[in-house]
Structure 1
Amino acid sequence: MDVYTNPEKFNLEMVGEVSWEAPCYSFNLTVVLRDSHGVFYWASDSGCSCPSPFEYVGLPDLNSGSKWDVLQVLQERLGDKPDEDEPEYDDYKYAENQVSRLCEILFSY
């Protein structure tokens, strides 16, 4: 049992996630959850397609804080925009769109 596939078992609700790369038989995710007291929790995980994301991640493994803390972490992880001719540009744009959507969700809390 893990927080990603069963957040309700930990008294959490899924807020959203960011995939930092376009899917390609692997995952590179940051997940954001929230408890009934308004505390936000987040963690990142990556790997090949064999294991499940966050397979062994429980509540003690999560970072916690306010929505502002989550927003700061997401912006820091997104980092500086690479030039369009750099190989990282497509993944950056992919992640940037997902961060933008998750920020909209966070602002609704």
Structure 2
Amino acid sequence: MSIYYAPEDFGGKILGDVDTIGGYEFNMIAVFQRTEDGALFFDTDSGCSCFSPFEDSRWENMTPIRTGSWFAGQARKWLREQYGTDADDRDGVEKLIRLVRRELDAPKGGDRG
């Protein structure tokens, strides 16, 4: 079972993702949020449709996101290292960065909107 396709089974949700390939292959970066404490994590994965994206990902082996600026650097670095990205990929990564920053700036507790 993959945290990507059933994040609620792992006690979380997906906040967003970018796939630079699509179709029968994937090359992705994704941001997950753990439900119990609201902590944010990211992971990257690539492969073919024989496997599910992030099928080996668990909270303990994903990278915690502590600040928006740190994540922005990591996400942009990941994108630079990919082959054949386009404007949609760049826009997707920038959207993911904004989403993470918004989430980190959101009030904690019951008033999360």
TM range (shorter): 0.7 to 0.9
Q: CA RMSD in A?
A: 2.1
Aligned residue-pair number: 100
Structure 2 residue ranges without an equivalent (≥5):
104-113
CA deviations over 1:5-36 (Å, ceiling 9, x no partner): 121222212110111x2324210011101124
Percent identical:
25
Ranked by relative contact order (alpha carbons within 8 Å, sequence separation 6 or more), the top structure is: 1
CA deviations over 1:42-68 (Å, ceiling 9, x no partner): 111101122111122222221112242
CA deviations over 1:46-92 (Å, ceiling 9, x no partner): 01122111122222221112242322210211238xxxxxx83xx23
Conservation of the 8 A alpha-carbon contact between 1:34 and 1:41: yes
Q: TM-score, normalised by structure 2?
A: 0.73
Conservation of the 8 A alpha-carbon contact between 1:2 and 1:56: yes
Q: TM-score, normalised by structure 1?
A: 0.75
Conservation of the 8 A alpha-carbon contact between 1:25 and 1:48: yes
Structure 1 residue ranges without an equivalent (≥5):
81-86
